[in-house]
Structure 1
């Protein structure tokens, strides 16, 4: 008598009975691929847990400085600690992801982030501020980032860029809603501490959603990547694709020795550097230029909204057009916007800068992880994106503190903006000429998986 596992793994039987469950006592989806439910859950987590906290914090920095009597350097160091610890925690998150799985890891991360946020609500000193910002960063690293993108790459191949774009666009939408809402909350109550309570609720929501809906891989739900049984298409010939997707999963030690990996990291790092400079210092800079606090906060929200649009557009195009072109173009838009920000002394130019910056940054931050997945496969994606994220965030985290120091020294952000634009031109050009890596002794072909 044949065992159930022998029967279900027989290609001929699976072609004859396409509804046969992958695992005993588990059924495949009828109609809706569970990967879309996973994507909706991860998007909600990014919206509430990440978008609200990171963008909401940028709005209340001026109020914290005013009330606590801190300098811009003091306050900006807290933001730098947030993003620095967030990046350094990437490999740690990848380590525990392999042992705990995404649902447990993300649930724990949301609770840690909530504890850190509530600590900031009650903080009375710089030491407490820095300590709790670090706790928030650890929590967000476990709640989002590596765990979310790794889960997406486990569930999606054919529409991987689209899924990443939809997911990351939710962070931008979170900013669009969070920035003006938190600004209004602070203005109406006269107390910036209330904003931290809203952020605590957001991280708790993210934790609950992760535990209830997220699953690590398709096999956990008795289905397949993309919802398609590979044995049913074993004889089909894939149509040629202009987007490179490796047919092998690279080992980490091989991937980190390739030039495309580090070019991708450099481009992403500069995109994050510029974004964090504006996100942490933008409201202060615009206030110095005579722009009202509400308009400045609205500009941050617009950056988020068009960032969401840029991410979604990259997701749609990234499965048809090589993401390296989108990475280059997005970074180019961002450097143009930051230069224009020097002259933003009216509402029209302020909003124009926000639109261009948001769209460009959104394109760059989706194209970068899509390239890592396409070039090196999904098996070791968590480890590779952890390394990628650590370097990107370490570089990006220096932006707020460098910008604040320059302002404290000369009273202007202009040198920082112009220096960023000059350096960013290098990866804009190099990325266009980048070619997919080839594993030693193996020709990696372009396929449409």
Structure 2
């Protein structure tokens, strides 16, 4: 299939494989592990704080590892990192299933977090950046749709835990992640030029002078990127939005149950949101490539800001706000989760994408830690999330200003 002419450009197979791995790994290792808190507490007698520390260690470690992961991706290639990451993630979950004391549990959490850092996020995104240029957002939309589908994995994982037990469930999903991850690693390839192709599947004769550098190999150096203001402005925009996004992820269900929704009703709102994301992310990826990624990226912050106001006011007495919330926040969120990644390659090129995205992840880590913490403090103080989500709304919209000040991306990078 590789190196031969086929009706479908090989990069699309890579995008589909990345979406499948993201569906399983993100659904289990990021969204689904919260299902285990109650059965672990009941069996092992650990405090909720002690169990939660394992999740905090994962988040902290992933933020610290992001630059290292990015450098390794740029030096060794994404495929090797994906192979190593899948083995570590599956191994960490298997060790997790056997944990009977806190040191083993924390060690398993760290190993799984290391594996997730190496096989998801930067490696998959770097592969997509290498294989696509004009169609980056479309390809990344497929991967992002897989992550959105992870919302549907959570109730299935909960059923598995109930039916088989939490230890047995972890063994099953570890083997599933291993199988899907190995399949993706087998089809993943670092760069199209290695197989006589060019990004987007363009015919080499139409791609320009064969002596010109291949577009997946161009880009500014890390030092040049760090000397300009664009990198820091883009990082600020990502930080402000990531902080509210993580706070929203953690506190959306408590906010709804606090405003009159039952737990199943709140779960239904979240499930519908996940369905909207799965349908919308490929569509907005296609639209971004068509109308311009830069303009749509700016719009994503404004849509999320307006949507947060609707969400802050949402209650069972104001259900008419729900479609407005889906229309604004869900749309802005779908655009943002794709384009905050492509923005790095569009501004600085794909050559050092892994390193630069890794640095961005580390620099925005404090925002991600503060966002949900401040939301929790606000609820403890006022007994409501309405004020904090209302405050987060203009801060999210402010990110649009940072992107505008960063300037338009270079045309030869995206």
Q: TM-score, normalised by structure 2?
A: 0.83
1:378 and 2:354 matched? no
Structure 1 position 75, deviation (Å): 5.8
Q: Do 2:134 and 2:200's aligned partners in 1 also have CA atoms closer than 8 Å?
A: yes
- The separation in 2 between residues aligned to 1:140 and 1:34, in whole angstroms, is 25
Q: Deviations over 1:291-323 (max 9, x none)?
A: 333333333333333333443233112223332
Question: CA separation in 2, counterparts of 1:310 and 1:98?
Answer: 31
Matching residue of 1:16: none
* Aligned-residue RMSD, C-alpha: 3.5
Contact 1:179-1:298 at 8 Å conserved across structures: no
* 1:230 to 2:204 alignment: yes
- 2:308 touches 2:389 (CA, 8 Å); kept in 1? yes
2:398 corresponds in structure 1 to 426
Aligned residues: 407
Output aligned runs, 1:34-73, within 5 Å: 34-58=10-34, 70=47
Q: Give the match for residue 114 of structure 2.
A: 138
| Larger helix proportion of the pair | 2
Matching residue within 236, 253, 257 for 2:223:
253
Partners in 1 of 2:310 and 2:158 — Cα distance?
25
Out of 109, 118, 127, the position equivalent to 2:94 is 118
Structure 2 vs 1, CA of residues 401 and 39 (structure 1 numbering), >3 Å: closer, same or farther? same
Q: Indicate if the aligned counterparts of 1:280 and 1:400 stay in contact, CA closer than 8 A.
A: yes
The answer to whether the Cα contact below 8 Å between 2:218 and 2:349 also exists between their aligned partners in 1 is yes
Which of 81, 91, 110 matches 2:57? 81
Q: What SS class does the counterpart of residue 28 from structure 1 fall into?
A: coil
In the TM superposition, what is the alpha-carbon distance from 1:143 to its structure 2 partner? Answer: 0.6
Measure the CA separation in 2 of the matches of 1:31 and 1:329.
35
- Given that 1:146 and 1:385 are in contact with CA atoms closer than 8 Å, whether structure 2 keeps it comes out as yes
TM-score by length of 1: 0.78
Aligned to 1:321: 291
Structure 1 segments, 4+ long, off by >6 Å, are 62-67
Q: Secondary structure at the match of 2:289?
A: coil
Report the Cα offset of residue 197 of structure 1: 4.5
| Aligned-partner SS, 1:249 | coil
Q: Look up the match of 2:360.
A: 388
Q: 2:308 maps to what in 1? A: 338
Cα distance 1:226–1:275, how it changes in 2: closer, same or farther (>3 A)? same
Unaligned runs of 5+ in 2: none
Which residue is equivalent to 1:9? Answer: none
Rg comparison, structure with higher value = 1
Deviation, 1:88, is: 2.3
Secondary structure, aligned partner of 1:320: helix
Q: Per-residue displacement from partner, 1:147-187 (whole Å, max 9, x unpaired)?
A: 11111111111212211222222100222x2133234445x
Deviations 1:211-235 (A, max 9, x none): 3211111133333322234345537
- Could you tell me which residue of structure 2 aligns to residue 220 of structure 1? 194
- How far apart, in 1, do the equivalents of 2:17 and 2:56 lie? 28
